[in-house]
Amino acid sequence: GAVVSQHPSWVICKSGTSVKIECRSLDFQATTMFWYRQFPKQSLMLMATSNEGSKATYEQGVEKDKFLINHASLTLSTLTVTSAHPEDSSFYICSANQRGHTDTQYFGPGTRLTVL
Partner 1 sequence: TQLLEQSPQFLSIQEGENLTVYCNSSSVFSSLQWYRQEPGEGPVLLVTVVTGGEVKKLKRLTFQFGDARKDSSLHITAAQPGDTGLYLCAGVGNNDMRFGAGTRLTVKP
Q: Which residues bind partner 1 (CB under 8 A)?
A: 4, 6, 32, 34, 36, 41-46, 49, 91, 93, 95, 97, 102-105, 107-110, 112
Cβ closer to partner 1: 2 or 68?
Answer: 2
Provide, rounded to whole angstroms, the least separation between the CB of residue 84 and partner 1: 20
Cβ closer to partner 1: 84 or 110?
Answer: 110
What torsion do the CA atoms of 91, 42, 47, 35 make, to the nearest 10 degrees? 50
Angle (nearest 5°) at CA 64 between 91 and 54: 100
Q: CA 16 to CA 31: how far, in whole Å?
A: 32
Contact 50/32 with Cβ under 8 angstroms?
yes
Provide, rounded to whole angstroms, the least separation between the CB of residue 16 and partner 1: 26
Cβ closer to partner 1: 77 or 95?
Answer: 95
Provide, rounded to whole angstroms, the least separation between the CB of residue 70 and partner 1: 19
Best CA proximity match to 8, nearest among 94, 105, 74: 94
Best CA proximity match to 107, nearest among 44, 64, 56: 44
Provide, rounded to whole angstroms, the least separation between the CB of residue 96 and partner 1: 11
Cβ closer to partner 1: 16 or 26?
Answer: 26
- Please count the residues of the chain: 116
